Amino acid sequence: MMIRLHPRAQELETESAFKVLQRARQLESKGKDIIHLEIGQPDFPTPAPICDKAKEAIDQGHTGYGPTPGLPDLRALIADYAGRQRGVELTGDEVIVTPGAKPLIYYSISALVGPGDEVILPDPAFPTYPSVIKHVGAEIVPLPLKEETGFRFDPDEFLAKITPKTRLVFLNSPHNPTGGVLTQEDLEIVAKAAIENDFVVVSDEIYSRLVYDGKFCSILSIPGMKERTIVIDGFSKTYSMTGWRLGYALLPSELLPTFELYSVNIVSCVSTFSQYGAMEALTMDQTPITEMVNEFQSRRDLLVEHLNAIPSITCQIPKGAFYAFANITQTGKTSQQLAEELLEHAGVALLNGGSFGEAGEGFLRFSYANSKENLIEACKRIRSYLS
């Protein structure tokens, strides 16, 4: 029997990181040595106090369903921590905890837009955004990020994209895949436009603790924006907890009932013992996190230096996240071609910049969540392949 899918389901697209990882694993199973620079996951273990707390929670029987929006104590801790990080007062009623940050992308888009609505999206962007926007039938309006300005957008170009149909604008800073970080001035331009044109901003701040140069700024801290901003953040990247599935949104309390309905219909709640681990993450001594961030910064500098030493590759110094977005146009190959060749013939798994949007063509994304030795070896392999 041929099962007929609804056209809506056919609009969903995959995330290239998972696709490339699968192919890399296949090659490894045939004995090939692959350096993994594709997946966006810290290569540090979850800090021990967090694991101990979750194990203790299991031993104490915290293994059943929990409240749909998250444990009240955890929501209060997040309100305090995330509010201080952004210089705003928040209460637990403005926080919802979800299994990873990803469901919040779906909730935000599905709850706020549909056919006839326009969503302004950075280009390149995290692939889940365009996938879900197409899934709900809304229109994507791409906003190119410019290499020459550290992968920020052009303010005039942004303002020109706004129409009466603009309902939602996505921001992602620090940015995946470019590592770009928006400035306070960039955010003020978006905030002013949001207030004047009455649209909502979804600000994906999952890399908020991974800023190396300059300071992390959130649009939430701009007066008038708390009422119209959904901040997405979580534990995956900051605390090396990708598999624990712990994300959260900071949102206007009027949106909370709707987001709770999404959670109750889709996930019921977040794993209860994971949430005990999250409470420990927020209250423990933060030294392991500072050490991880310092190590990422030093790897970033090393990787960029080695990439720029390859004759046909240039790479800007990314200010945040753990990605470098290297310009490969001088190789004369498309991003997809080169990414495939490097995986199949040089044993380096990377992502094709074009898989993040049209403006990503001509670039490769390198995740530096890997050891310095492997980063150096990967650059050596690429250099040797290209020569």
Q: Which residues bind ligand PLP (CB under 6 A)?
A: 40, 100-102, 126, 172, 176, 204, 206, 234, 236, 242, 247
SS3 180: coil
Task: Using the minimum distance from each CB to ligand PLP, give the nearer residue, 42 or 288.
Answer: 42
Task: Using the minimum distance from each CB to ligand PLP, give the nearer residue, 42 or 347.
Answer: 42
The two three-digit tokens of residue 336, written as one number? 């997809």
Shortest distance (Å) from residue 230 CB to ligand PLP: 13
For residue 352, list its beta bridge partners.
364
Task: Using the minimum distance from each CB to ligand PLP, give the nearer residue, 226 or 365.
Answer: 365
Q: Which residue has the tokens 């106090």?
A: 49
Shortest distance (Å) from residue 173 CB to ligand PLP: 10
Task: Using the minimum distance from each CB to ligand PLP, give the nearer residue, 133 or 382.
Answer: 133
Shortest distance (Å) from residue 194 CB to ligand PLP: 20
The span from the CA of 24 to the CA of 29, in Å, is 9
Shortest distance (Å) from residue 234 CB to ligand PLP: 4
Task: Using the minimum distance from each CB to ligand PLP, give the nearer residue, 98 or 327.
Answer: 98
The two three-digit tokens of residue 64, written as one number? 């059943």
Shortest distance (Å) from residue 176 CB to ligand PLP: 4
C-beta atoms surrounding 251 within 10 Å: 26
Q: How far does Cα 249 stand from its chain's mean position?
A: 13
Tell which residue, 299, 300, 383, has the closest CA to residue 342.
Answer: 383
Strand (E) positions, the chain?
35-36, 95-98, 118-123, 139-146, 152-153, 166-172, 200-204, 229-234, 247-250, 314-315, 323-327, 348-349, 351-352, 363-367
The span from the CA of 334 to the CA of 100, in Å, is 33
Shortest distance (Å) from residue 242 CB to ligand PLP: 5
Is residue 96 within 8 A of residue 76, CB to CB? The reply is: no
Task: Using the minimum distance from each CB to ligand PLP, give the nearer residue, 273 or 323.
Answer: 323
The span from the CA of 290 to the CA of 63, in Å, is 31
Task: Using the minimum distance from each CB to ligand PLP, give the nearer residue, 207 or 347.
Answer: 207
Shortest distance (Å) from residue 172 CB to ligand PLP: 5
Q: Give the CB-nearest residue to ligand PLP.
A: 100
